[in-house]
Every structure is written in structure tokens, then in C-alpha cells.
Structure 1
Amino acid sequence: MRLASISVDLDSLPHYCRIHGLPETLLDERARTLVHAVAVPRFRELFDSLGIPGTFFAIGEDLEADPGAAAGMRAAHEAGIEVASHSHAHDYALTRRGAAAILEDLRRADAVILAATGARPEGFRAPGYTLNADLYAATVALGYRYGSSAFPATPYYAAKAAVMGALALAGRPSRSVLDTPRVLLAPRVPYRPDPTNPYRRGEGAVLELPMAVTPGVAFPFIGTFATTLPRPVLRAAWNSCRRDAFFNFELHGVDVLDVSDGIPAELVRQQRDLRVSAARKLERLREVFGWLAAERKVVTLRDAASRLAPSL
């Protein structure tokens, strides 16, 4: 049976300020908690209405700072949603910190998520989707079942490089990090990584479940594009992936937010998908989730890893 998973990275708005080189002082206390207070309930309602599970990638630091976020993750876990790790500090330069610091960050995230949900996370997604040997080794050491960070999307990589360059020229450098071009050679289907180069096949203990990109041009099929592209373009991208045994649809909390939720205008100007109404985005996501559920068994990433592991 073909499988699909739907996952949501719960990056709070301060992380978007860091991406766009904006001061975090733009955000009031409510804006800082919007992803957990508003986006998480919207995603939960969407999952519940279609009777499908999902995976939330939580940031340990955000759960520590916001008791409401921690309570929301416990409620999600009890409702059958997987809560996985998106690191503790969501440091875009995590891969540059050295093996000991990387391991400590992931351990802290595990402890916070365990305290919040009562269950230790079994999956990991890297900040900024950036992997290296030290980070992969940490996931092995901590006994994760899977990672889901590889994103071999050529158009995304080129656009990210261009935006980071423009911000640097404008004197407002991004705190994001451009990954090695080797990521573009990573498999677009589930695989066991080479521990010395996780973007290459090998015999690593932790499975890698790459995010969906189309065959050939490697166009990214992620929430930002699913909610903003013309429907015929999105449908064509979906049709090109329909033969894949596994489809990994990745989203972010902001994919169901808009300017009316109280996001500062300065951030909306940089994060253009926030100009699309949340109602319209939710309508599109309901449609896309329906495509997946009609043709595949939708499971959490943890369950997908369990089902795929014997064949890998």
C-alpha cells in the first residue's frame, strides 16, 4: 500500500524574523505564541475533520518559554498526533556547532518534549533542513527511528541562495544557512544514509524520509507552494509524484496564518504567503489532504518509518 505523511514544523514567528533579518522586537507576546495558540488548533481541526493523523515537529525552546505550547503538544499527543523533535534552539547554524554541542541541543529537546507529552520523540527534522555527519551521528546516538531533513529541491535551493544574497547586500543579513550543494544529489525517496555523508545512500541506522519533490526538475511540494500556487500547477506537481511509494508532505505553522491574526506588517511584507487569507489556505490544504487520503494510507512519520524500514 502506498503511504503518505503530513508533518508541520512549528517554527514560531521569531524564527521568521531571523530568516528575514528583521528585529524580533517587532513581535509582541501574542505574536510570539501565534503558531502554537492559533495554527496548531487549526491544523488539529483539519486532521480531525478528515480523520487522518499528522506529525508536529516541536522546538524545545518554544515549549519551555510557553506553557500553553507545552500543554497543546500534550493534548495533540493524547489525540494521536506524533510530536517529534525540531531541535531545542532551532539554530540554523546547528551543523557548525561541533559534535558535542549538537548532541546536547538534541538531548535538551528530547527532555523538553518528554516532559510536555510524556513520550520521547522518535523522529527529528533539522533546522533549515541542513544535515551533516555530526548531526546524523547525534540522531543515531539518541536512538531516533527516523530523520526527515533531506530536501533535494533545486528551485528552492536557488531561491534561498538568491534571497540570502539580496538580504546581505541590503545590510540585513539572514541568520539562515545555505546548505552544501550536495543536498541536491540526495535521493528523493526514503533511504538509509551513509553516516559520513547523510545525503548519500549507505547503511546508517536512522532512516531518512526526504520531503516531497517532483521527479526531474525537483520542484518542492511543500505547504508554502501548496497554498499559493495556481491549482492546475499544483495538481500537475501532484500527478508527477503519484507513482511514488511514499509521499512526505511538509508544512509550517504559518501556512494556516495570515495578516489578520496579528502578524506585523514588516514581516508580512517579507513572508508573502502571509498575504493569502488563512481561510483560503485551509481550503486548499483540505483539498490536498483529500488527494492524499483518497489514494494512500496516511500515517505519522513514525509509522511510515516502521513500515518502510524492512524494505530499506
Structure 2
Amino acid sequence: MALRLACISVDLDSLHHYCRIHGLPESVLDARARGLVYSTAVPRFRELLRSVGAPGTFFAIGEDLADARSAEALRDAHRAGIEVGNHSYSHDYALTRRAPESIREELVRGEEAILAATGTRPVGFRAPGYTLNAALYAATAERGYLYGSSTFPAAPYYAAKAAVMGALALAGRPSRSILDSPRVLLAPRTPYRPDPSQPYRRGTGPVLELPMAVTPGVRLPFIGTFVATLPLPAVHAAWHACRRDTLFNFELHAVDVLDANDGIPPQLVRQQRDLRVSSTRKMERLAAIFRWLKEDADLVTLRVAAERLAPTV
């Protein structure tokens, strides 16, 4: 049976967030590097989507839009038909550890920044670091979101993240990322309505959850880093394993179309191995996968997917 729906979404995380992940000082980034996501990655993704006739969803961080050029780049993307979702205001990896009022403020400020830039209030939310809990889910429900897309039940990713965070801590360079509850490993891998008190379990919550694509069984993650660094036959096998799913939610990051030659400091390139792969090669690989999606599925934005799936989930 052919896949019914597929979506392409891009998290517009600026490079200073990667410095925080890897325990590097943000001072390694010059002004050009700090602006690379909107000056370089956004136009590349727009061209990539346009070249294959694919729609897309960008998740924007509110504080980045204080820069007029970044806000203009996002506005232009929105006018071209790209959906813009809320990725919080400051992309605090520890957002779920905040008080409920502070969590709500992060959502509201992110919404306001996106509304000011695009003229449209977002209806979708993705949590920083894919980390979801009851308080954050309650905030999305209170704000009237149509969907969330934060659940990432990928066991290999979880194990690798734990190992890297442990190694950084031992090296005296602790990561500012956090490790999610292991309950995420048992979360549904297909669209579901969460239990508001335990959002990694099925329930009757009002905000539909659209998890990131992972394969059945071992739950191998199908995200940008995976497709950029593994041999194409392995990527194709993972894609084939997911083809019976109701929704294939292909999640990427802005760095998935950047490389070391774009002016990224070597300290960060050493830590973020996919930056060693040329942007040309990565874009060619992504274009091929986008074509797979378009040939086998109805390729839509996450908003459209949520609207179609909501009555049946």
C-alpha cells in the first residue's frame, strides 16, 4: 500500500544552538556565521523545494526574527507558500523544566514574532530538542494549536545523544541540551492524540501529535543527519520500511544544507560531522528523497496533514 501523506519540515536552528549542544563558546561564531541560517540555508531550502515542486514547513525561533533581514527572509518564504510553525522564542533545551507560566510565555513570544514577520499566526509547534511533557502540551492546547510535532521515538538517536552528553561532561565541556524521559522510546511512531497528562501515550488530547519519521522495529531515525551521512541504499531501505505509514514526517535542520565552506568555524565543524559533507552533495541527496516522497505520497505541509488526519485520529 502506498504511503498516504508525507511532509518536509525544517527547523531553523541558528549555529549558536549547536555551540550550546557541543559545549562550545558562542564567541567562536562571527557575525556572518550567526546569520547563515537565514542568509544562506533558507534560500537553499526554498530553491530545493521549488526545484522538485514540493511544499514545506519551516519552524522558526522567535528571537531570531528581531533581525530585520531574518524576518524578511522568513516573510518571503511564507509568501512563497511555505508554512511557518513555532519553534519557541529562545529555543531553550530545558523548556520542559520551566514553570508553566514561563513555558506559556515562550510560546506566546514565539507566536508574536512569527505573526509580526509573516502576518500569520502559527498553528503548529515543535519543541526544542524534541522534548515534550504535560506542561508544554497543556500550553499548546491552551494556545489553540492544531498540531504539535515534537515526538521523536528513535532509540538509536536517544542512545547516541546520551553517550555524547556523557562524554562532553567528562571532558569538562557540558552540553546545554537535556536528555528526554525514556518514556519517549515507547511513544507512538505514527500520528496520535496524546494523553494530556502523559503526552508520549495515546489519549484524547485536543492537539494532534505528528511524530518525526522513524522506522518500525529498531526505530531508526529518518532525519537530515541520517540521510546526509549514510550510504544511499541504507537510506532507501529505511524509507521503504516506512512506506505503509499514514504519515511520513521528514524532519531536517538548516545545517543540512550548509557545510564547512560556508564560513562555519572549524571548532564546530569538528563536532558536527555532517558539516564535513559538501552542501552540494547534501542537496543532491535531499532532492532525490524529496522526489521519492512526491512519487509515492501526497506531499503536503504539516498543517494540511493535520487538517486531513484530525477527523480520523
> Taking structure 1 as the reference length, what is the TM-score of the superposition?
0.99
CA distance in 2 between partners of 1:35 and 1:310 (Å): 36
TM-aligned CA deviation for residue 119 of structure 1 = 0.2
Q: Secondary structure at the match of 2:58?
A: strand
Q: Does 1:49 align with 2:51?
A: yes
Of 43, 59, 62, 2:64 maps to: 62
* Cα distance per residue 1:262-308 (max 9 Å; x no partner): 00000000000000000000000000000000010110000000000
Residue in 1 aligned with 2:305? 304
Q: Deviations over 1:158-186 (max 9, x none)?
A: 00000000000000000000000000010
**1:227 to partner: Cα distance:** 1.2
Which segments of 5 or more consecutive residues in structure 2 lack a partner in the other structure?
Answer: none
- 2:16 equivalent to 1:10: no
Q: Give deviations 1:96-144, integer Å, cap 9, x for gaps.
A: 0110000011000000000000000000000000000000000001111
**How far is the alpha carbon of 1:51 from its aligned partner?**
1.0
The match for 2:215 is 214
Query: How is 1:183-198 mapped onto 2 (pairs within 5 angstroms)?
Result: 183-198=184-199
| Amino acid across the alignment from 1:278 | S
Partner in structure 2 of residue 34 of structure 1: 36
TM-score by length of 2: 0.99
Amino acid at match of 2:216: P
Q: Is 1:158 aligned to 2:152, yes or no?
A: no
Partner of residue 274, structure 1: 275
Amino acid at match of 2:112: A
Summarize the alignment of residues 217-232 of structure 1 with structure 2, pairs less than 5 Å apart.
217-232=218-233
Q: How many residues align?
A: 311
1:88-127 to 2 correspondences below 5 Å: 88-127=89-128
Which amino acid in structure 2 is aligned with residue 293 of structure 1? K
Q: Deviations over 1:19-64 (max 9, x none)?
A: 0000000000110010111000000001111111100000001111
- Alpha-carbon distance in structure 2 between the residues aligned to 1:45 and 1:227: 18
- Alpha-carbon distance in structure 2 between the residues aligned to 1:187 and 1:149: 12
The separation in 2 between residues aligned to 1:184 and 1:5, in whole angstroms, is: 22
Identity %: 72
Matched residues in 2 for 1:124 and 1:286: separation? 25
Question: What CA distance in whole angstroms lies between the structure 1 residues aligned with 2:38 and 2:194?
Answer: 32
Q: Secondary structure at the match of 1:238?
A: helix
